[in-house]
Structure 1
């Protein structure tokens, strides 16, 4: 991937929300390298063909279809036709989904693409007003509707083994409070009152990723906040808990498919 895609490409971020991230983007050819979010990525293709590799297969999303990419599943993005592709996407953390599901299995959509009109309507309820802040009550209602519909569409199975949601939640809260600190699995097991390997399984079951990956992503959240506040990449990396800028940049690229400098330019409305 070239670091600077076509000058025709653009990304527009919706006004910030404390719960979700929303964006609209257009790419004329190559969009982003293979990467993994620790969030759900749910969106709609608006024009063109959005092509991507997901769970070992090539997928093509057409206008009107809904994408639901599961947390921690690798994917890329590129145009499937000469006209490029435009899409809207929202990112929801498994922690927020669990607040609604209260310990039920995370919904998983086979193939990552749906033509179900119920899911389309629930997604549009959040993505229709990209230029405006969402009213807090409207946002909560829309999120409840989206997660409920997603659970119905995905027909979530009953788990074969029981996991400890309380232990997983305590471990997550501990990491949220100590993002910049060095944390071991033994630390998490002690705070969760659970043996370390059972806790690892609990965490993956309820939050869709490993404890280490979760902590890394929270540190990247801090990096983005620091960059937005004007901090340089080196200082942002160290302040967020990474060893150095190189360490942070490697994880940033794996998480978002672009470098932190390119991400920063997109937020400022500058050319990629």
Structure 2
């Protein structure tokens, strides 16, 4: 389905067929799109039309067509139209674990300001920011992600920063949390699974994956909730199946992570 900018028309979000670790969307919003929120993935995108405005690290950013947006994991941000005509954009959400598959334990790249016109990054995001109707083959996605990580590391000089912390322990923790995300995980379990004390592990996990172990666990539960909502599952049933205490508990976390309530997200995602 091809959609085009529709001045003051209904908001919509078109989602590509997901591939593990990467979510791709194209969307149109007028007015306020998202309240302040944060998620544990990189958000990398391009404005197609209009002015895409957002607050990020205490600054107002205005992205114009051709700009590349790079928001670091777990950094609060919002989103709204900079003009009354609204804005259209494409965005990919990439789990930091895929960055680490390329970096192998180096620090995650951080782009100051969240916006760039650097042609290296524009070229590196070309394949990943294609129309939603284009299904990325696994090898195509892998090559594109590798190019993206290298370009972002070069632009931010991340490759010059010496690795610190225990990457193997952090990776084992991520794998354990991923496998047990629908239940409560005790700190002692993570210590046993990784051979690392909880304080060092928490520091290393944030360094390599951009968020805390608990936030990572919560986000995987929210990913499960979104899949169930798209399949038509009731909110209360989705919350319970994903491991939340109740629907209100899930809704609070959902809104903080995605900037809108589950019901509002469901309406836009289906629109």
1:129-166: per-residue Cα shift (whole Å, max 9, x none)?
A: 32121112111111111111111111116557720001
Q: Distance in 2 between matches of 1:160 and 1:184?
A: 31
In structure 1, the residue matched to 2:107 is 105
* Contact 2:169–2:194 under 8 Å retained in 1: yes
- For residue 39 of structure 1, the aligned residue among 32, 38, 41 is 41
Secondary structure class of the residue paired with 1:179: coil
Q: Distance in 2 between matches of 1:91 and 1:205?
A: 19
Secondary structure class of the residue paired with 2:260: coil
* Contact 1:39–1:94 under 8 Å retained in 2: yes
Pairing 1:247-266 to 2, within 5 Å after superposition:
247-266=249-268
1:86-116: per-residue Cα shift (whole Å, max 9, x none)?
A: 1110000001111111111100000000110
1:33-62: per-residue Cα shift (whole Å, max 9, x none)?
A: 000010000000111111111011111111
Q: Distance in 2 between matches of 1:24 and 1:69?
A: 17
Aligned residues: 264
In structure 2, the residue matched to 1:172 is 174
Secondary structure class of the residue paired with 1:15: coil
RMSD: 1.5
Q: Distance in 2 between matches of 1:114 and 1:36?
A: 20
* Contact 2:36–2:77 under 8 Å retained in 1: yes
Secondary structure class of the residue paired with 2:113: helix
Q: Distance in 2 between matches of 1:143 and 1:161?
A: 21
* Contact 2:48–2:89 under 8 Å retained in 1: yes
- Report the TM-score when normalising by structure 2: 0.93
Instruction: Measure how far apart 1:27 and its partner are.
Output: 1.2
Q: Distance in 1 between matches of 2:162 and 2:191?
A: 23
Instruction: Measure how far apart 1:191 and its partner are.
Output: 1.0
Q: Distance in 1 between matches of 2:182 and 2:72?
A: 27
In structure 1, the residue matched to 2:64 is 62
- For residue 117 of structure 2, the aligned residue among 112, 115, 118 is 115
Unpaired runs of 5+ residues, structure 1, are 1-5
Pairing 1:1-272 to 2, within 5 Å after superposition:
8-156=10-158, 158-159=160-161, 162-269=164-271
CA gap of 1:161–1:99, structure 2 versus 1, over 3 A, is closer
* Contact 1:179–1:218 under 8 Å retained in 2: yes
- Report the TM-score when normalising by structure 1: 0.93
Q: Distance in 1 between matches of 2:199 and 2:90?
A: 38
Which 10-residue stretch deviates more, 160-169 or 202-211? Answer: 160-169
